[in-house]
Structure 1
Amino acid sequence: MNTQSTNTAFPLDRLAIGNDPEATALVTRSGSLTYKMLNDRVGMLARWLDRQNLDRGDRVATWLPKTELACIMPLAAVRAGLVHVPVNPVLKPAQVHHIVVDSGAKLLITNSGRIKSFDGNPLDQKCVIWDEASILSDLKQIDDPMAPSAASDNLESLAAILYTSGSTGLPKGVMLTNANLSLGAVSVARYLKLEKDDRTLCVLPLSFDYGQSQLLSTWYAGASAHPLDYLTARDVTKACARDRITTLAAVPPLWVQLVDQDWTEASSSSMRRLTNSGGALTPPLVKQLRAIFGAKTDLYAMYGLTEAFRSTYLDPALIDDNPTSMGMAIPFAEIMVVSDGGKIAAIGEEGELVHAGPLVARGYWRDAERTAERFKPAPEESEYGGLAVWSGDTVRREKDGLLYFVGRTDNMIKSSGNRISPTEIEEVAVGSGLAAEAVAIGVPDERLGHAIHLYIRPASNADRDAIDAQLSKYLKRNLPNFMHPQDITTVEEFPKNPNGKIDRNALAKNAKI
C-alpha cells in the first residue's frame, strides 16, 4: 500500500511516488512504465506544460483515447499547478467545443484525426490545439523533469473539471480539488482491498469519475493499471487473459454483453473482484456473473455521483442476498436519507440521498445558480456539516442499514452507464430544422438501463417516415453514439400540463406501453 496516510488527503501527483520504483505502474499500447518511470513522465509533462506560458489555475483539456499521455495528465497538470479537463473521446466536435469554451481551456491536446474533424473551424481563439504526437516528440528533449513543489501542495486547489450532463441544458463542469481526488483514491483502494500485485483493466472513459478512479486507486495501492480502448466485449475477455487481470470495473450494459462471452479459464481464473456502477446490477446478472467467476471473485455494487466522487458500496458478502441494494457509505462519505421536511428519514421511509464529507466537490464551474440548487448546507444531524450534495435521487434505508435506490427526481436519462441530458438531444433535433419541438424520454431497457425515445413535432408537412429517416441520420452525425434515440415518434401536438408546459410524464407513460 502507498506510504501516504490512509486518513488524510495528499497532493495527487504523489501517487507516482512512494511505491516500489521498479514495480509496473502502467501498461499501454506504447509500452510499460514502472513507478519510477511514471514519476519521470509526470515530471516531464509537467515541465512541458510549465513552458506553455500558462498561469496557475489555467485549464488544460485532453480529447484522447487511453494513451500514456492521457493517463498521466491528471498527475502532471496538478504538478504544474494547472487544472485538467478530460473530454470523453466519443464526443463530437460540437460537444467538445462547448466543453473547451465553457471551461476556458487554454490548451486542447488531441490527435491529428480529431483535429481534422473540426474542419478548419477553430474552437476558441484563446485555446491552442496541440497534436499529441508533437508533444511526445518535445518530451524527448526535456532533461529537467519538474519535481513536486508548492504548485501541487495546495490540497484545496482545483485539480480537475469533469463534465457531466444535467437534467437541463448542456454538460456542466464539476470542480474537483486535489484533496477530493486523492481521498477518493484512498477510499476506493481501501474498500476494494487492492494490493500491490493487483492488475486493473481500465475499460471506462477517463473523463468519468469512475474511469479516473480506476487509475488513481490502482496507483495508490501500488498496483498496475492496464487501460483498454475496446471495440467489442470480446476485446475485454482477451485482455483479461493476456494480462492476467485481477480487477475489472464496468457498467450494467457492458456486463450484459460480457456475460454472453466465452470466458475461458485463462480469462477468468485470475479475477479477484468485479465492480459495478452507473446503474444497478439485476439479480439475473449477479447469478450469471457468479456462474462465470464463482465465489472466489468478489462482486462490488456501487453508487456514485460526479459531484461527490462515490457515495456507497455493497459488501461483496451481501450481494447474493441483496443484489438490488446500493450498500452503505464508502470511507470518508456521510450518506443521509432526508425526508421532504428536511429531517433524517425513518427506517423504510423514502427520502433524498444527501452526501456530506471531504469527497464533496466544490460545485459547478462558473455556474453559481446550478451550484446553489445542488450544493446546499448539510442537514443539522450531519456529523461533517458544511456543504453537502443533494443528489435528487430518492432512496430508502432498511433496518439492516442497507440503502435501496427508488428513482430519480429529475428527467435525466441513464443509458449505457452515461448520464444524458434530454435537453441536449432535443436542442440538436430542433437545430436540424426537421423538428419544431422535441422531447427525449428514457424508457427502461434490460441491456441499456434506459433506451432513448424521441418524440418530435415535425417542422413541415413532409412525409413522416422521410422526416424520421432524415432526422435519424442527422442525429447520428451530430450526437455521440450513446445519445442516439432508439425510436423516433412524430406527434401532431404534445400533451401539456396545467402550466402550459409539455407533460413529460404523460409521454413517458406512452413510451412504456
Structure 2
Amino acid sequence: MTVPPDPTVHPLDHLALRGKADAPALVLKDGVLSHEGLNRRVGQLAAWLAAQPGIVPGARVATWLGKGLIACLMPLAAVRAGLVHVPINPVLRRAQAAHILADSGAALLLANAGRLETLDPGDLGGAAAHDEAVVLAALDALAPLPPSAATPESLAALLYTSGSTGRPKGVMLSQANLWLGAISVAHYLGLAADDRVLAVLPLAFDYGQNQLLSAWAAGACAVPMDYLMPRDVARAVARHGITTLAAVPPLWRQLLDVPWPDGAGASLRRLTNSGGALTPDLVHGLRGQFPQARLFAMYGLTEAFRSTFLDPALIDDHPTSIGTAIPFAEVMVVNDAGAEAAPGEEGELVHAGPLVAQGYWQDAVRTAERFRPAPPFAKLGGMAVWSGDRVRRDALGLLHFVGRRDAMIKTSGHRVSPQDVEEAALATGLVAEVVALGLPDAALGQAIHLVCRAMPGAALDEARLDEAGLRAAMAQDLPAFMLPARVHWRDALPLSPNGKHDRAALYRALTGER
C-alpha cells in the first residue's frame, strides 16, 4: 500500500526549493540549470516583474513564448512577485492572443520579437510589451526576490481553454490548485529525483504545465522541447535519457508511425496519456513499442486539472478505462435523476475537492453553469465541477469515458457516443486516426460522418479506402444505426492548439458553417 502524499500546501514558487541544490532541474538548448540555479533565476525574474512601472499585486502578466527559459520560469516567478500568470499558447495567432490579453486585463506581455511584430497597438489592450531577449539580458544584474509567503487560496494563474466551442475562457487556478496538482501527479506516477521528463506539450495547457511542476515537486529534471516532427521527439528521448513522456492520442499515433533509433526508448519508465481516450489498438501499440514503460491512462479537465488515472497494472485488461480518482480528488458519477449512478449506469462525472478551480475569470454566468455545489452524497462536499462528460463505473469500480453530453450524436432516435464509433473504425485496421461527427440530416436528425487518415501504406490501395469496405468491416461490431453515412479521407487531421483533434474545425469544414 502506498503512502498518501502530504497535503500541506506551500506557496507555488517553493517548488523551486524541493530538489537537491546541485541536481539538474531544467535542460535547455543553451545549458543546464540546477535546482539552486532554478530558484535563483525564478527570484531574478520575479524581481524584474515587480520593478516594472504600474505593476501592482494581483496584476496579470502574460507570456506568448516557446519553451525557453522565461516561459519555464514564469509559473513560479509570477507568483513570487505577487502576480498572476497568463500563458498564451505560442501556436495561437494574433486575434486569439489579443482576445486573451483583453479578457485577462494583462498589464504586461513577454513575447519574442517576431510575435510582438504581429500585434497592432490596439491588440495589447493596455499591456506593456517586452521582448524576451531584452528581459533575459537584464536578469543577471538583479538581486533575486526571496521565496514568497502567498496564501493557498490566492490566484496563481489564468489558463485559457482552447475555445473549440466558443471564445477561450480563463480558468482561475489558485496556489493550492497547482501545488496539490503537482504533488498528486508526482506521487501516483512515482517520480523520483533521477527522473527526466520530456516536456513536449504546450505549457499553456494544464497537462503541459504540470510536466514542469510535477518534475520539480519530485526534485527531478524537466527537458522542455518545441518539436517540429514526431521523429524529433524520438531522438530527444535517446539524447537526454528521458524517463517520462506525456502525450495526447494524436501524438502517440504519430510516434508509433515513425522509426525509433535502436534503444531510443529503453530509458522510458512511464508514458502518460490525457487529452483524449486511449483505444485498445493504441494501448497494444504502445505496450509493444515500449514494453518496459508503465502506461498511465488519465482523464482531466482544466476546471479541476486532473480527475482520474488507471493503475498501469490494469491497462492490458482494461485498455479503455480512465481508472479511479487521483490523490486529493473525489470523483462521482451522477445519474440524470441527481443520484449516485449504479455500476454500469451512465451518468455525469462530477469532481469535488481541493483541485477544483475558482471558476472562470470575470464570467459569472458560465461559472454558475459548470461550478455548482457537490451532490448530497459527496464525502468532501463544497463546490464541484460538473464536467458535462458522460461516464460509467464498472463492477470493479473503474471508470469508463462515454462521451461529452454535447458531443453525443443523436441519429434515428438513438444517442451514439462518437468514441464508440471511432473505436470500431480503428479496430478494422484500415484507419490510423478518425473523428466521428454528427452532421445535420433531414431524415435522421444527425448523420454519422467519419473523417479518417488511412493506415500508413494504405493510401495507394483504393479498394481499402472504399466507404463500403470500411462500413462492412465496422458492421461486424456495430449495429446499423451506428455505421457512418459518409467517410471523408484526409492526409492529416487538424489539431487544436493543445494537440487534440480539432472537431470544431472539421465540423465547420464539412458543413460550411463559420
Per the shorter chain, which TM-score range?
0.7 to 0.9
Letter in 1 for 2:107: K
The equivalent of 1:287 in structure 2 is: 284
Offset, 1:168: 4.0
Supply the distance in 1 between the matched residues of 2:367 and 2:22 (Cα, whole angstroms).
Answer: 44
The equivalent of 1:368 in structure 2 is: 364
The counterpart of 1:211, out of the listed 208, 211, 229, is 208
User: What's the secondary structure of 1:240's corresponding residue?
Assistant: helix
Supply the distance in 2 between the matched residues of 1:391 and 1:486 (Cα, whole angstroms).
Answer: 22
Please say if residues 46 and 76 of structure 1, whose CA atoms lie closer than 8 Å, have aligned partners that are also in contact: yes
Offset, 1:154: 1.1
The equivalent of 2:251 in structure 1 is: 254
Offset, 1:265: 3.7
The equivalent of 1:33 in structure 2 is: 33
CA deviations over 1:343-372 (Å, ceiling 9, x no partner): 111111110000000000000000000000
RMSD: 2.6
CA separation of 1:261 and 1:125: change in aligned 2, threshold 3 A: closer
Supply the distance in 2 between the matched residues of 1:184 and 1:307 (Cα, whole angstroms).
Answer: 12
Supply the distance in 2 between the matched residues of 1:480 and 1:167 (Cα, whole angstroms).
Answer: 11
Please say if residues 392 and 400 of structure 2, whose CA atoms lie closer than 8 Å, have aligned partners that are also in contact: yes
Please say if residues 184 and 327 of structure 2, whose CA atoms lie closer than 8 Å, have aligned partners that are also in contact: yes
The equivalent of 1:147 in structure 2 is: 146
Supply the distance in 1 between the matched residues of 2:191 and 2:395 (Cα, whole angstroms).
Answer: 30
Offset, 1:487: 7.7
The equivalent of 1:231 in structure 2 is: 228
The counterpart of 1:403, out of the listed 377, 380, 399, is 399
Aligned positions of 1:425-444 closer than 5 A = 444=422
Please say if residues 184 and 309 of structure 1, whose CA atoms lie closer than 8 Å, have aligned partners that are also in contact: yes
Aligned positions of 1:48-67 closer than 5 A = 48-52=48-52, 53-67=54-68
CA separation of 1:358 and 1:124: change in aligned 2, threshold 3 A: same
Supply the distance in 2 between the matched residues of 1:412 and 1:37 (Cα, whole angstroms).
Answer: 49
The equivalent of 1:473 in structure 2 is: none
Identical counterparts, % of pairs: 59
Aligned positions of 1:304-453 closer than 5 A = 304-411=300-407, 444=422, 450=435
CA separation of 1:451 and 1:136: change in aligned 2, threshold 3 A: farther
CA separation of 1:96 and 1:343: change in aligned 2, threshold 3 A: same
Gap runs ≥5 in structure 1:
414-440, 456-475, 495-501, 503-513
CA deviations over 1:244-290 (Å, ceiling 9, x no partner): 10000000000001011222343111110000001111111111111
Supply the distance in 2 between the matched residues of 1:480 and 1:147 (Cα, whole angstroms).
Answer: 34
Say whether residues 1:277 and 2:274 are aligned partners.
yes
User: What's the secondary structure of 1:340's corresponding residue?
Assistant: coil
CA separation of 1:451 and 1:130: change in aligned 2, threshold 3 A: farther
Supply the distance in 1 between the matched residues of 2:206 and 2:277 (Cα, whole angstroms).
Answer: 17
The equivalent of 1:469 in structure 2 is: none
User: What's the secondary structure of 1:85's corresponding residue?
Assistant: strand
Letter in 2 for 1:171: P
Please say if residues 166 and 412 of structure 1, whose CA atoms lie closer than 8 Å, have aligned partners that are also in contact: no
Please say if residues 304 and 351 of structure 2, whose CA atoms lie closer than 8 Å, have aligned partners that are also in contact: yes
User: What's the secondary structure of 2:406's corresponding residue?
Assistant: coil
Say whether residues 1:197 and 2:197 are aligned partners.
no
User: What's the secondary structure of 2:43's corresponding residue?
Assistant: helix
Please say if residues 195 and 221 of structure 1, whose CA atoms lie closer than 8 Å, have aligned partners that are also in contact: yes
Aligned positions of 1:470-489 closer than 5 A = 484-485=505-506, 488-489=509-510
Supply the distance in 1 between the matched residues of 2:511 and 2:331 (Cα, whole angstroms).
Answer: 43
The equivalent of 1:268 in structure 2 is: 265
Supply the distance in 1 between the matched residues of 2:9 and 2:435 (Cα, whole angstroms).
Answer: 37
Offset, 1:5: 7.0
Gap runs ≥5 in structure 2:
410-417, 427-431, 441-493
Number of equivalences = 437
CA deviations over 1:272-323 (Å, ceiling 9, x no partner): 00000011111111111111111x2100000001000000000000000000
CA deviations over 1:2-44 (Å, ceiling 9, x no partner): xx97222211101111321000000011211000000000000
Letter in 2 for 1:189: A
Aligned positions of 1:104-253 closer than 5 A = 104-118=105-119, 120-142=120-142, 144-150=143-149, 153-165=150-162, 168-253=165-250
Please say if residues 354 and 389 of structure 1, whose CA atoms lie closer than 8 Å, have aligned partners that are also in contact: yes
* TM-score (normalised: structure 1): 0.81
Please say if residues 451 and 486 of structure 1, whose CA atoms lie closer than 8 Å, have aligned partners that are also in contact: no
